[in-house]
Amino acid sequence: MKNKRKSKEEKLEEARALLPATISEIQVQKKNATRFSLFADNQFLVGVSESTLTKLNLKKGVEITPSLFDQLIESEERSAARDYFFRILSRRDHSRKELRDKAFKKGYSGDHITDILDEFEAKEYINDQKFALAFTREKFEFNNWGPYKIRTQLFKKGITKQVAEQCIQQVFGADSIRDSMMDLIRKKRQRYQREPEEKRRKKMFDFLMRKGYNSEDILNHMDELLDITK
């Protein structure tokens, strides 16, 4: 029967039980050249990132006290959260709220999350204004979403009302809304052609409302939309 793998907390408690301990050796880990294994009296103590090693000036002969060990763990948690954010952002842009929510689900400390996100905003690794504008353009141009649906999704992503409205005004215009609705109905025209006009009108109205267009815009162009399906 295989032994149950020890949890991270169990390993840390075992290391803490060895303290105080003097670093006798530091080795680069085989599977990750940016991480290092610390040994005390030729016994593995704990693994740390390169940033923690440098930040705390850990080297052979340094005594790891309980206080220094706590600093080490805090530095590791911050480094792990920071690396996690970079991995997420390497795949696509995210709003600040999206990153915060993902980090909380992963169990990262709230203080670390806030500090790192503040840093990322200062360095413009994240920018809710740019994110919201890109999201609005993408959903309008590639998914034909209307302003209402885009606005709702932006709010869910933590974008303020002011920023959301600025982005929608920048992307949408009267002609673009009309053209987008026409394009949507044109793609679905076969679905509506067999229906009587009143039923066709209602189905198209409901469909466009679900796509995020407001009732006034739909009704203003309903005659043109009906012509497409004749």
**Are residues 138 and 109 part of one domain?**
no
**Are residues 109 and 81 part of one domain?**
yes
Question: Which of 66, 97, 122 is a domain's end point?
Answer: 122
Whether residue 5 has pLDDT greater than 80: no
Question: Which of 70, 92, 122 is a domain's end point?
Answer: 122
In a domain, residue 186? The reply is: yes
Task: Note if the pTM is more than 0.85.
Answer: no
**Are residues 62 and 165 part of one domain?**
no
Whether residue 220 has pLDDT greater than 70: yes
**Are residues 116 and 138 part of one domain?**
no
**Are residues 79 and 141 part of one domain?**
no
Residue 1, pLDDT score: 43
Residue 149, pLDDT score: 96
Query: 124-136, pLDDT tens digit by residue?
Result: 999 999 999 999 9
Query: 96-146, pLDDT tens digit by residue?
Result: 999 999 999 998 877 889 999 999 999 999 999 999 999 999 999 999 999
User: In whole numbers, what is the pLDDT of the chain averaged over residues?
Assistant: 92
Reduced to 3 states (helix: H, G, I; strand: E, B; else coil), residue 21 is strand
**Are residues 91 and 161 part of one domain?**
no
Query: Are 174 and 195 a contacting pair, CB within 8 Å?
Result: no
Residue 132, pLDDT score: 98
In angstroms, the CA 128 to CA 159 distance is 7
pLDDT higher for 164 or 42? 164
Query: 149-200, pLDDT tens digit by residue?
Result: 999 999 999 999 999 999 999 999 878 999 999 999 999 888 888 889 899 9
In a domain, residue 5? The reply is: no
Any idea what the CATH number is for the domain that residue 48 is in? Answer: 1.10.10.10
**Are residues 158 and 117 part of one domain?**
no
Residue 125, pLDDT score: 96
In a domain, residue 195? The reply is: yes
Range of the domain at 213: 129-228
**Are residues 103 and 31 part of one domain?**
yes
Q: Crossing angle for the helix pair 197-210 and 174-187, nearest 10 degrees? A: 120
Query: Are 36 and 47 a contacting pair, CB within 8 Å?
Result: yes
Residue 110, pLDDT score: 77
In angstroms, the CA 129 to CA 121 distance is 11
**Are residues 17 and 109 part of one domain?**
yes
**Are residues 117 and 133 part of one domain?**
no
**Are residues 219 and 142 part of one domain?**
yes
In a domain, residue 201? The reply is: yes
Q: How confident is the model at residue 4 (pLDDT cuts 50, 70, 90)?
A: low
Query: Are 69 and 36 a contacting pair, CB within 8 Å?
Result: no
Our count of domains for the chain comes to: 2
**Are residues 72 and 156 part of one domain?**
no
Question: Which of 122, 153, 169 is a domain's end point?
Answer: 122
